[in-house]
Amino acid sequence: MKNKYLLKIILILLIGNIVIAVSAGQSFSGTKLVILSGSDGLEGERITSPCIPLFEEKTGIKVEFIELSQSDLHTKLTVMFSSKSPEVDLLWTWAGWTAEFAHAGFLEDITDKLSVEEWEMFVPGALNAITYKGRRYGIPRFYSIRSFYWNKKLFKEYGLDPDRPPKTWDEFIEYAKKCTDPSKGTWGILAQRGSNSNLVMGFQEFLVRTGGEIVDQNDNILLNNDKGIEALQRMVEEHVLGLVDPAGFGISEGPAQRARWIQGNNAMTIGWAGDYKVSNLPPSQIINEVGVGIIPSIATSGAITGSEGYSISKYSKNKDAALEFLKFMSKPEIQKEMTLRTGWYPVIKEVFQDPEVINKNPLIKVAEEQSKFPTMRFAAPYYSELVDILGPEILSAINGVKTPKQALDDAAKNLRSVIDSFK
């Protein structure tokens, strides 16, 4: 009798689980998600949208995927949030926007929607894109970290060992001097200097290697301390010595930098994962002539991250379905396929160790090694204001109008009132 009773209980539980599973699946029937995104990449290298048909097939959830430029997207989101509109369920984000929108209460906090074990599956650096003050407001869609690139063809032309990149700042400057010859149209360094945002990003690239910070966790300004001043001094030094390609002052976006880099007239640059792939495809003039390694150190090596993600709008009426999409996109098999297809790095640790991924993407090991050093991508609710204040001051130092200390002191003074207004 006891066995029969036990079997009956087990049967009831099994049937209950089946019903719950079916109900869970049916709960998404007829659901439509609207995703508002920045660029999903070039044709043939698109990151998220190629995975949507499989997600729709597996879940029955329909997805409308809309791409906008970052400026148009930010404007659209600002208007949408101000009216508490539920028209968008998921939105593209990065560290700066996550801080801005989470601080304002516009994003759904999903920290407790995943277990500790689930969060531990992610590459720590990738989570920076969707984290604000220790809370998670989405899931990263790929991991991105800057790497050092050098033109082996120019190295050989100017008597440098193509298989021995510079490791320190002094070596970096020495190599840049040897490869700079304006009469031949060759330059030691290619850098983006075409906008305030680029200038601030470039400054961070130096700051992470001097061990400095823009502000501390309590929003005390640190950018004009000794480490900050050294960072800007190094940035200015490249220009004073005439080692930076002047075309960089007209470059404000990644595609423009890549287009310049593949012409083969620059010896060294710091770039994203996508730069390597473009370097080895026509019409590149440096196919099979590009080395990739660790960024030369100042006090240490270091890199900035550029990971992106998707967050759930606080006003979405489809938050459970939206979370299903985020979980689906972070599955190891989905991340592996994306990595192999696009060359971007996965957000899941397991995929970083996948033999096929390692074999087909030579950057994986470089990214893993670079990640052992400090990384940075400044994020705060006042990021846009910071860029508008700090960018022009950096440019004034590069142009010799102000000393690095004067420029940073002036930036700090103007930034203080902005920070206080956000408290």
Question: Which residues, listed in sequence order, are joined to residue 215 by a DSSP beta bridge?
Answer: 221
How far is Cα 67 from Cα 80, in angstroms, rounded to an integer? 16
**Same-domain pairing of 295 and 202:** yes
How far is Cα 136 from Cα 297, in angstroms, rounded to an integer? 31
SS3 assignment, position 62: strand
**Same-domain pairing of 266 and 413:** yes
**pLDDT for residue 45:** 82
| CATH number reported for the structural domain that contains residue 396 in this entry | 3.40.190.10
Task: Tell me how many degrees the CA angle 268-269-275 measures, rounded to the nearest 5.
Answer: 120
Other beta carbons less than 10 A from residue 109's beta carbon:
16
Q: What are phi and psi of 65, to 5 degrees?
A: -110, 115
What range does the domain containing 336 cover? 31-144+306-372
Q: Determine contact, residues 91/298, Cβ cutoff 8 Å.
A: no
**Same-domain pairing of 260 and 387:** yes
- Domain-terminating residue out of 353, 372, 391: 372
Closest CA to 330 of 94, 45, 139: 139
Amino acid letter, 416: R
Rounded to whole angstroms, what are the CA distances from 74 to 87, 92, 98, 132?
Answer: 15, 10, 12, 18
**pLDDT for residue 277:** 84
Which regions in the chain score pLDDT beneath 50? 1-26
Determine the number of helices (DSSP H) and then strands (DSSP E) in the chain. Answer: 19, 13
Q: Determine contact, residues 103/422, Cβ cutoff 8 Å.
A: yes
**Same-domain pairing of 335 and 232:** no
**What are the DSSP calls for 162-226, one per residue?**
TT----BHHHHHHHHHHH-BGGGTBEEEE---SSHHHHHHHHHHHHHHHT--SB-TT--B-TTSH
Note the helical H segments in 27-136. 52-59, 70-82, 95-103, 116-119, 124-127
How far is Cα 363 from Cα 277, in angstroms, rounded to an integer? 10
Amino acid letter, 313: S
**Same-domain pairing of 238 and 386:** yes
**Same-domain pairing of 339 and 272:** no
**pLDDT for residue 285:** 98
Task: Pull the structure tokens for residue 77.
Answer: 């989101």
**Same-domain pairing of 248 and 168:** yes
Using omega within 30 degrees of 0 as the cis cutoff, is the peptide bond preceding 355 cis?
Answer: no
**Same-domain pairing of 298 and 328:** no
How far is Cα 375 from Cα 302, in angstroms, rounded to an integer? 6
Integer distance in angstroms from the first to the last C-alpha of the chain? 68
**What are the DSSP calls for 271-328, one per residue?**
E-HHHHHHHTSTT-S-TT-EEEEPPPBSSS--EEB--EEEEEBTT-S-HHHHHHHHHH
**Same-domain pairing of 293 and 164:** yes
Closest CA to 273 of 346, 209, 335: 346
Task: Pull the structure tokens for residue 214.
Answer: 């823009």
**Same-domain pairing of 194 and 269:** yes
Does 391 reside within a domain? yes
Total domain count, the chain: 2
Q: What are phi and psi of 241, to 5 degrees?
A: -80, -5
**Same-domain pairing of 198 and 330:** no
DSSP state of 248: G
